[in-house]
Amino acid sequence: MDSWVQFFLIVVGLPVVLGIGSDMYRRHLKFKERQLTAISHETAEKAAQYAAQTERLEERVRVLERIVTDKGIDVADEIEKLRDAPLN
């Protein structure tokens, strides 16, 4: 190759290729950032849903505990009757 072609490739071609590569890399990083943000929001939403579901289940368990402690013997008898009853 001629020296002027080599000079042209080094002075013009290399910066153009590096500029394009740099721009592509920045776009890729922005995409990944948006993707992580979306995943974070989704994860936070699911965590809130699980927390609400857990709270509802805990409330139901508290109600069942009150029922059992208030009517413990009656409930035990009723459970035993249900065990003995035939399934329809």
Segment 25-52, tens digit of pLDDT: 999 999 999 999 999 999 999 999 999 9
Q: CA-to-CA distance for 63 and 55, rounded, in angstroms?
A: 12
Q: Which two tokens stand for residue 82?
A: 């249900």
Q: Which two tokens stand for residue 25?
A: 């890399």
Segment 2-13, tens digit of pLDDT: 788 888 878 888
Q: CA-to-CA distance for 83 and 77, rounded, in angstroms?
A: 10
pLDDT given for residue 51 in this prediction? 96
User: Residue ranges of the domains in the chain?
Assistant: 3-84
